[in-house]
Structure 1
Amino acid sequence: MQKIPFYRISEFHFLIRIFLPSLFLISCEDTLLEEVLIYSNDFSQLDLANFQKGRLYEYNDDTVLGFFHNEEIQLTIPNLPSHNAVKVVIDLLVHDSWDGNPDNVGGPDFWYMHLDGAEIIRTTFSNTPCGSNYCLYQSYPENYPRFFEPKTDAIATDLPGRCQYAGVPGWTVKYRITRIISHKASSLEIICGDELKQENAYSPPCDESWSIAKIEVSTMTLK
């Protein structure tokens, strides 16, 4: 079997930003021998098999997993083929007025992901417009507490809000979150959740929520 370089030069900086915050033990000298897509779900088939506390919602003419506010969901994927790493890719939708890092009545607004019980991501997002004199920074694409401008590394920033800003472009932001971890078990447990804070909102779930548009999981064999 032909060996495929695991890191391409053009992707090196991007991959370092993914790996280092989560303390992954995958060397940049590793070679990818095999990658197998074992799970892919964009929820268009209304498939919630293997989910706990999952539900579906119509957003922007698509079916998504959501919406959630101060909740946690779990996906368990059994019967994995032989491997020594897994890759998880999540298209996350951050709806309405997330406030990012500030510790006050409106935040910080956390989102997290655990893989087999280990916390891989604990970060914040901000949808608030950022000006020269006022900016509510977020921690993504790294873990809290770091400081980046709102919507940093988003793949779509012009989507309409879900509730508080329903129909208004720019109030849902889409992120493609990719993480690769060392892993050899025959099953994988993925937990995603949030800790959202909006003490002065009439309806906190309308003020801030999140959904998932797609989840993909691949097993990998590295050498």
Structure 2
Amino acid sequence: MTPNSVRKNLKTAVFLLFFTCFFSCEDTLMDEVLVYDNDFSDSDLVYFEKGRLYDFNDDTVLGYFHNEEIQLTLPDLPSHNTIKVTIDLLLHDSWDGNPDNIGGPDFWYMNLDGNQVLRTTFSNSPCESTYCLYQSYPDNYPRFYEPKTEAVSSDLPGRCQYSNAIGWTSRYQITKIIRHGESELEIVCGDELKQENAADPVCDESWSIARIQVSTMTVN
């Protein structure tokens, strides 16, 4: 087992322990309602600001974006005190992760009702013993993990610069659970990408979203 696999398995175990204690040691999940589920196959952009659609790898996705911010506002939520948001994120082409130089760091972030729940970096770079562009995900920046750590898929083609090469789009499933009781939820996703050495920065790095799911929960 590789060191990266050990870290991944340990982090998964810690998350499961925290999740179990959150709902069984202290609280009880009384109700969960899936209020929004969009894989964009129906070209539905209702409730989106600055949203657009793109065909990637024979699927319709939300994107692509580069140094941009999008917003999803969901009204009329049922009574609840907790929100769960799951985003399937696609990172295209040469994301450079943590290094602070002409090519990075490359940030992606998510805010829920104005509160930042994730600001991290991603790397699609090959990782060798003598050269590795580390990323901060699955934690907030700055942390150091190997490229593509916790990606659910890393064998997709790039979108532009590496469109003919497998392994240059990584897919992540990101879930965040927060205390929330308002009737409306605002989800903002965006990036801060840096490519001072790229002739076409948008072709060099971009991102899309393959699916968004939102559930309201009542926890007592």
What is the TM-score when the length of structure 2 is the normalising length?
A: 0.91
Structure 1 residues 17 and 74: CA distance shift in structure 2, 3 A: farther
2:132 equivalent among 111, 119, 135: 135
33, 36, 39: which is aligned to 2:36?
39
Deviation string, structure 1 residues 173-201 (Cα, Å, up to 9, x no partner): 00000000000000000000000000010
Instruction: Find the counterpart in structure 2 of residue 81 from structure 1.
Output: 78
- Does residue 51 of the first structure (1) align with residue 52 of the second (2)? no
CA distance change for structure 1 residues 17 and 203 in 2, over 3 Å: closer, same or farther?
farther
Report if the CA contact (8 A) 1:26-1:182 is conserved: no
Secondary structure of 1:189's aligned partner: strand
SS at match of 1:86: strand
Preserved CA contact (<8 Å) 1:160 1:172: yes
Shift of 1:14: 2.5
Give the TM-score taking structure 1 as reference length.
Answer: 0.90
- In the TM superposition, what are the counterparts of 1:1-223 in structure 2 within 5 Å? 13-15=14-16, 28-223=25-220
Give RMSD over aligned pairs. 1.6
Answer whether contact 1:89 1:215 (CA < 8 A) is retained: yes
By percentage of residues, which structure has more helix?
Answer: 2
Inter-partner Cα distance in structure 1 for 2:17 and 2:175: 12
Deviation at 1:15, TM superposition (A): 4.4
Contact between 1:108 and 1:197, CA under 8 Å: does it hold in 2? Answer: yes
User: Which consecutive residues of structure 1, in runs of 5 or more, have no partner in the other structure?
Assistant: 1-10, 19-24
Task: Assess, with a 3 A threshold, how the Cα gap between structure 1 residues 153 and 220 changes in structure 2: closer, same or farther.
Answer: same
Aligned residue-pair number = 207
For 1:207, give the aligned amino acid. D
Deviation at 1:13, TM superposition (A): 1.8
Quote the sequence identity (%).
71
Q: Contact 2:23–2:29 at 8 Å: present in 1 too?
A: no
Relative to structure 1, the CA distance from residue 192 to residue 28 in structure 2 (aligned partners, 3 Å threshold; closer, same or farther) is farther
> C-alpha distance in 2, partners of 1:96/1:17?
34
Corresponding letter in the other structure for 2:140? N
